[in-house]
Amino acid sequence: MTTKNKHMILGVVLGNNFGDNPATWRMPNVDPNSFTSIDATVKQVQTAERGGMDFVFLPDRLFMHGNLAFSPPMFNIDPIITLSAVAQATERIGLIGTASTSFTEPYLLARQLKALDIISHGRAGWNAVPSYEPEAFANFGKVLPPREKKYERLHEVIHVVQALWGSWGYEAGQPNQSGMFANPAHIQPVNLQGKHVGARGPLPVPPSEQVQPVIMMPVSSGYGIQAAGMYANLVIGMPSHIEQNRAIRHTVREAAVQAGRDPEEIKFIVFAPFTGFTAEQVADHLQELFEAEAADGFVMNFDDFHTEIEEFVHYVIPILRKRGLFSSGYNGKTLRDHLGVPPQYGVDPRVATSSTGATS
Ligand SMILES: Cc1cc2nc3c(=O)[nH]c(=O)nc-3n(C[C@H](O)[C@H](O)[C@H](O)COP(=O)(O)O)c2cc1C
């Protein structure tokens, strides 16, 4: 085996508490009202944590999605608020939530995501996506901008968010009895202003146990891949043929190199189906992709969260462990530990800021 990472990364995508199949809410074992139940979400995440899975991922859309006469909304409760509640009921599993770069001011995004990172003791991840549906823009009184403007804002937002995350320096120290709460020389404004957004800073939140949240981004257009190369530690793609996945993984790693980073710091993961296969078949599929260097890991997609997360944990994970493909338990405490990616403090100094548009 030539794969550099010894173990695959395993996550699970959650959503409306039912599952990927729009009819799951009608199953006899399912409470049809549970789509807003935090208890149901917590139970699902705890099951994944029992299996030692690396993270849960909550996608999001900022408009009503689905035909409510026949099926639940695909996305409803705010992911970052949901994950803050989940954090209190779990200990190790990473918590990745979606927050669009198209609307919220970076100061608020930085503050909320860092809060999740502090509350969860360093387990937070941010799926940083530009919204692309006109319906989402309409909910903010806006029209969909051209793609290049959408990504211009994304660069500025991520740059300012990261700068704010780093604005309370480690060197500021810890409060102690000597009389100085923190050294203000190391808690400084960022003074950034771009075409779309800006912030003065500093953000009055100290570093988390993993310093700052992990950034995840989806594979999308060339603009998106370039941005992922600059900022993401985790890139998520759709299921595809093995050769195509290999090619995308290569492109993503090249984008990191172009941005001045080490390709080992960017992990490419793909959605993987569970339903309709035996445990051995699921394990074979994941093993084949992993060993072909077509993916560093997987986000499992379940039709029914109530039964299938448990089945995956009970039947598939032991097979992967027996084959030496998945770790026998959590080795570290933070999401960065689970993913094997280095800590980052504020903006990555290797990544040129000229293309972000945000200047001080
Ligand atoms: C695997 C994957 C996951 C995504 N998750 C989300 C999401 O949770 N929320 C969202 O608004 N967009 C999501 N997107 C869409 C992307 O944000 C992006 O806007 C879209 O792919 C179009 O990008 P483009 O304009 O660069 O082509 C996802 C895309 C992919 C491929």
Using CA atoms, how far residue 264 sits from 76, 108, 182, 229, 234, in Å, is 35, 30, 35, 11, 11
Most confident of 13-22, 62-71, 107-116, 270-279: 107-116
Q: Whole-angstrom Cα distance, residue 187 to residue 118? A: 17
Q: Residue 324 C-alpha to ligand 1 middle, in angstroms?
A: 33
Question: Would you say residue 4 has pLDDT above 90?
Answer: no
Q: Whole-angstrom Cα distance, residue 353 to residue 190? A: 14
Q: Whole-angstrom Cα distance, residue 242 to residue 224? A: 21
pLDDT of residue 174: 87
Question: Would you say residue 1 has pLDDT above 70?
Answer: no
pLDDT of residue 75: 79
Domain extent listing, the chain: 9-170+185-356
Which CATH homologous superfamily contains domain 9-170+185-356? Luciferase-like domain (3.20.20.30)
Q: Residue 127 C-alpha to ligand 1 middle, in angstroms?
A: 10
Taking all residues of the chain, what is their mean pLDDT, rounded to a whole number?
94
Which of the listed residues 16, 61, 129 should we mutate to test ligand 1's pocket, taking the one with most ligand atoms within 8 A of CB? 129
pLDDT of residue 178: 82
Q: Is the CB of 65 under 6 A from ligand 1?
A: no
Question: Would you say residue 28 has pLDDT above 80?
Answer: yes
> What confidence category does residue 354 fall into, taking pLDDT thresholds of 50, 70 and 90?
low
Q: Residue 55 C-alpha to ligand 1 middle, in angstroms?
A: 19
pLDDT of residue 76: 79
Match 């039947």 to its residue by tokens. 315
pLDDT of residue 344: 94
Q: pLDDT tens digit string along 232-275?
A: 999 999 988 999 999 999 999 999 999 999 999 999 999 999 98
Q: Is the CB of 330 under 6 A from ligand 1?
A: no
The model's pTM is 0.96
Q: Whole-angstrom Cα distance, residue 147 to residue 130? A: 9
Shortest-distance atom of ligand 1 to CA 238? 1
pLDDT of residue 67: 86
